[in-house]
A and B are shown apart, each in its own frame.
Chain A
Amino acid sequence: MPDGTVLDILSPIDLQVNAGEVVAILGPSGSGKSTLLGLLAGLDQPTAGRVTLLGHDLGQMDEDARAALRAGRVGFVFQSFQLLPGMTALENVALPLQIGRRPGAREEAAALLREVGLGERLSHLPRQLSGGEQQRVALARAFAGDPAVLFADEPTGNLDADSGRRITDLLFALRDRVGSSLLLVTHDQQLARRCDRVLQIDAGRLQEAA
């Protein structure tokens, strides 16, 4: 803090997510959900403690090594979609495959977009798509390359109830096909109920939900 005091965002946490497991972290705004997600995904570093992702101790890796670990093996879905605005739906989905230097990236991306029902929208820019459609593109991008782990931050937070339900169905369908571990943070109880395990976070403390 500017006055020199130290603020604890998260209390000591001991969490293990197994391969193929689906875990939801529930909590109100400001409870530390996104901070925890950032730490688990290697987007941020804890001031104390250890995070292991896919057998790698993230604290022992520099930022470039953590990025290389994410490439093709970790997927993300965000509340605000985070599509690159200048790229078409196809280009957005092909991007992680190209970064991972996978041959046939565009064909694979097109197949994924068809799977999420956007076969007719391949060349559309994000601004030409509705919110639900944008999140479907984001889902297709997240599952491109069949990631071992998928992190989702409030994936239905920016959508109406109907669109949110369809995105949830799609998310679980894709996860079932790929078999990824899924860790999602949400305050949507219905979404949480579909997960294998639900954790509750409040004021930085994590505990199994009742």
Chain B
Amino acid sequence: MTQAWLSLLHWRAALRDPGLRLLIAAVLVAVAALSSVAFFADRVERALVEQGAALLAADLVVEHPEPIPQAWRDQAERLGLRQARSLGFPSVIIIDERPLLVQVKAVEPPYPLHGRLQVDTPAGRVERPPALGTAWLEGRLRDRLAATIGVSEVELGELRLRAAGTLIDEPDRGGNLFRLAPRLMVHYDDAVRSGLLGPASRVRYGLMLAGDAKQVDRMRAWLADRLSPGSGLVGFENARPELRVALDRARRFLSLAALCASLLAGVAILLATRRYVDRALDGAAVLRTLGMSARAVLHWHLGQLLAVVLVATLLGSLLGLLGQQGLVALLGNWFGDTLPAPGPRPMLVGLLFGLSLAVGFALPTLLRIGRVPPLRVLRREMAAPGLKTWLVWLLAGAVFFGLMVWQVQDLRLAAWMALALLVALVVLTLAGWLLLRLLSPMRRAGGSAALGLAALVRYPHLTLLQLSGFGLGITLLLLLTVVRIDIVDTWQRSLPETAPNHFLINLQPEERTDFAAMLEARDVPNSGLHAMTRARLVAIGDRAVLPEAYTNTRARRLAAREFNLGFGAEMQADNQIEAGRWWSDTAPAAPEFSVEQGIADTLGIQLGDTLTFDVAGQRVEAPVTSLRSVAWDSFNVNFFVVGSPAAAADLPVTYLTSFYLEQATQGLTVDIVRAFPAVSVIDVRPIMHQVREIMERGARAVEMVFLFTLIAAGLVTIAAAQVSRDERAREVAVMRTLGASRRRLLAAVLAEFGLLGLLGGGLAALLASASGYLIAVELFGLPGRVSAETWWFGVVAGTLVVALVGWLATRRLLNVPPIRVLNAG
């Protein structure tokens, strides 16, 4: 029987050690936080993998900004592939005088080539696309416009279609996160006849292909040379890239939240191990006298540590399994209606994480046990030499950084996060140290509070550790709750009452006069008509703009796609020139471009560069004469790139505007859509509402993970209190022997921890307010504000919670007869 097995034989004895119990709790919390995120991500990932081709409704989809060339379809035919055309675009429809922005999807048989389309019709469930002259309505669209299936008529551009069925499921629908507008499914030919597929309609065409894998590969190879920059091929291996990106982001941020809990849990593990080792040294010396070698004694304790970490990891994983249900409830339908059950991988991730955390935070301290001299049984002052404290912390920090990189899969993000945590910890430690210095004269005062304060000052490093743990936990919670709500409220208040709430696009030049007259007649405040066209940036100076030349995702996207190119003589009121001059000040007759500063940075555009755009095969070239900053949140019409009127000469342009409609004038939308069928009116209020809901749910999910952070902060306080427990026990025993009542000692404990909570909460409020102020001013350009709620919550909740935790951690000391403590030496 090895010594490690012998130690397992005494597992009950090990579990009686408070340090080891605390270590179990800390590992459990860290693993639970992380595995709840891992389980959730695993379920979404499995959904993406398991549904494979069904997520695409085909084996291969060709995406194209223009109608699919006949030659492509002929080639697919020659290769024996099944095929179906599709297209999608946003548009406003009207049902019974009620307008709504929808996402139109037009398909033709035999769509879907994979997966099942499910539609409820008055005649029962069907699995085919809509027939000509009919439309399938998503349930929320039917309900929003109170449509009656089989009876209501849908006005789509120049067409009137019968609402013939309720769309239950479409294989390539994705999750709700990307479905701001509800779905209307129509026949492909109806969409073509609707008159809505103009140059500014944002239509995307698709050709779905399915068949023998080799033939699909041949088609893919054949298409490779024929695709234009705005086109793309999507196979099941890269199906739903937006879902993958969203999953990646969700996992990354939730993992960061979980890592905050893990960091605090790690600190608790470190402290708990210190307590465990301090208590175990005497026993280890006894084991040495009983004939155990130093290595065997170390193995004994390593065996116990390994066993408890395994148990804690298992329990933490089970808790994580429960926790992920909360995440699924909040975020699950972003990624589809049903998620498969999680696989075993997150358990393995949790196990590795728990073990790594234990190795990084517990092992360096535990090594002391192997160095205990047996003579300690006779001379208790014989110490076991250990690693230097700074080395222990450095090793723990290095392991934690490694875990961060592993979990967020992004060295830069992990480094920034580590830096932010380090800065917060340094600020908390320095501020705590300063406050302790300032408060130390109070030690001389009488009363219970002074007793408590004296304890804080007596163990300054523990006090600072507790302060840091609690301060960090409360800061993160405050930022996510009070400060976040405050910033959103400030942003909403910063918008004027009559900020535009509708956008109108695709107005033809010949319709301008009638449209302006209609708005004027109804007295609708608007931002004026702005000319625009869809254009693709093809060159900056002599340099061709190619997506693969950029590493930044946004830059690649901008380089690959068409975007809106605006034109105007005057600069928008909410724009500001950052460099160069606006053309109205110089030579209005020359073609010039003004570029928004952010996009200029992203694409590497300098003042004076010559930009070349491709507008439906026509080239337009002009120098950049100004760089602008734009207040995007003003809801006015704004463009990344604006050309002077001279640049628009001979280009096919359409017009857009934004305007404010009160509830009472909603009927105007119907009139506009009827009078100008090609235009799309976008009501941004429901979109804003949905964006806010997405933000709220995302934030609630992060908050949920942060609950683990709060628990971990509590564990740090308990662990820190336990490290000094033996000294405290002796102090309490001596004080009680000298006549201090339990009540007075209780008051001192409450004062000590209450003061700790007051400082921790106050510093957290300070950090959260400062961070919130910086975020509001620097990131969102909002007026900075410090809310009283942040301070109330931080200070009051901090004081109460820490006092409670401290009392729970030390109350048993007050119940132990003093003689027992004093006799124990």
Contacts and interface: CB of A to CB of B under 8 A. Distances in A.
A91 B293 contact: no
B282 A63 contact: no
Interface in A34-87: 34, 37-38, 41, 43-44, 63-64, 67-72, 74, 76, 78, 80, 82, 84-87
Contacts of B292: 67, 71, 99
B819 to A, nearest CB: 11
Interface in B1-49: 1, 3, 6, 9-10, 12-17
Contact of B378 (A38, A70, A125, A158): A38
Contacts of A101: 1
A20 interface: no
B6 to A, nearest CB: 6
B378 A43 contact: yes
A123 to B, nearest CB: 10
A38 B374 CA distance: 9
Nearest to B379: A34
Interface stretch (B283-291, B417-425, B531-539): B283-291
B375 A44 contact: yes
Max chain B CB contacts within 10 Å: which of A43, A72, A74, A96? A43
A102 B113 CA distance: 73
Given A43-B374, A43-B378, A86-B13, A71 B294 contact: no
Nearest to B378: A34
Given A86-B17, A98-B1, A76 B287 contact: no
A96 B287 CA distance: 8
Given A87-B10, A98-B6, A43 B291 contact: no
Nearest to B380: A80
Contacts of B287: 95, 99
Contacts of B286: 82, 84
Contacts of A131: 823
A139 to B, nearest CB: 14
A100 interface: yes
B825 interface: yes
B295 interface: yes
B377 interface: yes
Interface in A155-171: 158
A55 B1 CA distance: 28
A153 interface: yes
A78 B290 contact: no
B291 A96 contact: yes
Interface in A94-127: 95-96, 98-101, 125, 127
A100 B291 CA distance: 8
B293 A64 contact: yes
A208 to B, nearest CB: 24
Interface residues of B, number: 34
Contact of A72 (B16, B291, B373, B820): B291
Contacts of A84: 13, 283, 286
B399 to A, nearest CB: 28
B375 A43 contact: yes
Nearest to A141: B290
Given A91-B10, A98-B9, A131-B823, A71 B291 contact: yes
Nearest to B288: A67
A63 B374 CA distance: 9
Nearest to B14: A86
B730 to A, nearest CB: 15
A67 B378 contact: no
Contacts of A44: 373, 375
Contacts of A91: 10, 13
Interface in B178-229: none
Question: In this complex, which of A44, A82, A91 has the most chain B Cβ atoms within 10 angstroms of its Cβ?
Answer: A82
Contact of A76 (B289, B293, B295, B373): B289
Interface centre among A72, A80, A88, A153 (most CB of B within 10 A): A80
B10 A37 contact: no
Given A64-B295, A82-B282, A131-B823, A41 B13 contact: no
Given A38-B375, A44-B375, A68 B291 contact: yes
A191 to B, nearest CB: 18
A82 B377 contact: yes
B378 A37 contact: yes
**Which of B15, B292, B825 has most A Cβ within 10 Å?**
B292
A88 B375 CA distance: 24
A78 B377 CA distance: 8
B10 to A, nearest CB: 6
A153 B374 CA distance: 14
A70 B290 contact: yes
Contacts of B291: 67-72, 74, 96, 99-100
B813 to A, nearest CB: 14
Interface in A129-171: 131, 153, 158
Contacts of B12: 86
Nearest to B18: A86
A76 B377 contact: yes
B293 A85 contact: no
A71 B374 CA distance: 13
Nearest to B5: A98
A99 B291 CA distance: 7
B176 to A, nearest CB: 53
B291 to A, nearest CB: 2
A125 B285 CA distance: 19
A72 B292 CA distance: 10
Nearest to B6: A98
A58 to B, nearest CB: 12
A69 B374 CA distance: 14
A186 B820 CA distance: 24
Residue of B15, B17, B379 ringed by the most chain A CB atoms within 10 A:
B379
B8 to A, nearest CB: 12
B284 to A, nearest CB: 10
Interface centre among A41, A71, A86, A91 (most CB of B within 10 A): A86
A70 B3 CA distance: 16
B294 A43 contact: no
A78 B17 CA distance: 22
Given A37-B378, A38-B378, A43-B374, A71 B14 contact: no
Contacts of B823: 131, 158
Interface string B349-387: 000000000000000000000000111011100000000
Nearest to A71: B291
B6 A153 contact: no
A145 to B, nearest CB: 9
B283 A85 contact: yes
B293 A153 contact: no
A67 B298 CA distance: 14
Given A64-B295, A80-B825, A84-B13, A95 B379 contact: no
Given A64-B294, A64-B295, A43 B16 contact: no
Contacts of A85: 16, 279, 283
Interface in B668-683: none
**Which 6 pairs from chain A and chain B are nearest by CB?**
A71-B291, A86-B13, A86-B16, A64-B293, A87-B13, A43-B374
Interface of A: 34, 37-38, 41, 43-44, 63-64, 67-72, 74, 76, 78, 80, 82, 84-88, 91, 95-96, 98-101, 125, 127, 131, 153, 158
Interface of B: 1, 3, 6, 9-10, 12-17, 279, 282-283, 285-295, 373-375, 377-379, 820, 823, 825
Given A76-B290, A76-B377, A99-B290, 14 more contacts: A43-B375, A63-B374, A64-B294, A67-B292, A67-B374, A70-B291, A71-B291, A72-B291, A86-B12, A86-B14, A86-B17, A98-B1, A99-B3, A99-B287
30 contacts: A34-B378, A38-B379, A43-B374, A43-B375, A43-B377, A43-B378, A63-B293, A63-B374, A67-B292, A67-B293, A67-B294, A70-B290, A71-B292, A76-B289, A82-B282, A82-B285, A82-B377, A84-B283, A84-B286, A85-B279, A86-B12, A86-B14, A86-B15, A86-B16, A86-B17, A87-B10, A95-B290, A98-B6, A125-B16, A127-B820
